Amino acid sequence: MKKFLSIFLLLILFSITLYSIEYITLTSELTENLSGRVSIPFFYGTKDAPSAFLLNSYLAKDVEDFLSEYLDESYNFRNSTEDSKGPYVEVIIESEVGFVSDSFVSFYADYFSFVYLQAHPMTTRETYNYDLTLSKFLNLYDFLDLYSEDTGESFKIIKETIIEEINSDPKIYFNVDETLDTIGYDRDYYITNEDLVIIYQLYEIAPYSSGIREFKIPLKELGIEIQ
């Protein structure tokens, strides 16, 4: 983990001299006290250099917190179990960048964990939607309020699209009415060049076997165009 963070800090030096925002993917294998790997984007080159620096720092902190949590679990198992084979904890962080411009960045990172004797692995899909001009993360309401033509109409379109897709295969869902009664401002989302993607985590509206559910709404239908 130290090697990974050292590479991350060295690359910060390059982010203050370039102008068009780009990213590379940093990957590190975990081979000591944790099994697994980390693969995340590193953004550089924006004219708003401090803003990109903050984004990278926020992501690095999330990664560090996640690894530290499961490192503690690994130590606890090592000290309490008679089974010395290990590894006791496997963690994987994989990321996917959906959209990058000089003003806005959107991506997600899947935080996967499997702990010794656990029934099955768990994955949480964390989304990162960062306005480089404002130097802040945008929740769903902030994003629609800033970029869509009509926030209320956009929420209506989103809900109708999700309901239509669920109705096309209702047997793989549960708790739908309760969950979709309101789509909160803190609903997980990310964007691609074409779509707004709404995310429901494991067990939110479907069993584990159905996986993390994603619903895509074309940006054009929401009147969204980001430069």
Question: pLDDT 10s per residue in the chain (227 long)?
Answer: 555 555 555 555 544 444 578 999 999 998 777 889 999 999 988 665 688 889 999 999 999 999 988 887 777 766 666 655 666 789 999 999 999 998 999 999 999 999 877 788 999 999 999 999 999 999 999 999 999 989 999 999 999 999 999 999 998 998 777 777 778 889 999 999 999 999 999 999 999 999 999 999 999 999 999 87
**Domain spanning 140-222, CATH architecture:** Alpha-Beta Complex (3.90)
Tell me if domain 2-137 and domain 140-222 are identical in fold: no
Return the DSSP state at 204.
T
Residue 196 to residue 152: CA distance in whole angstroms: 15
Q: Which residue has the tokens 């081979």?
A: 31
**For position 2, what pLDDT does the model report?**
54
**For position 122, what pLDDT does the model report?**
95
Domain residues of the chain, as ranges?
A: 2-137, 140-222
pLDDT (tens digit per residue) in 53-63:
899 999 999 99
pLDDT (tens digit per residue) in 43-92:
988 665 688 889 999 999 999 999 988 887 777 766 666 655 666 789 99
For residues 52-71, one letter each, b for 16 or more C-beta atoms within 10 angstroms of the residue's C-beta and e for the rest, the string is bbbbbeebbebbeebbeebb
**Fold designation for 2-137:** Heat Shock Protein 90 (3.30.565)
**For position 15, what pLDDT does the model report?**
45
Return the DSSP state at 62.
H
pTM value > 0.75: yes
**For position 115, what pLDDT does the model report?**
84
Given strand 189-191, what is the order of strands in its sheet? 189-191, 195-200, 213-218
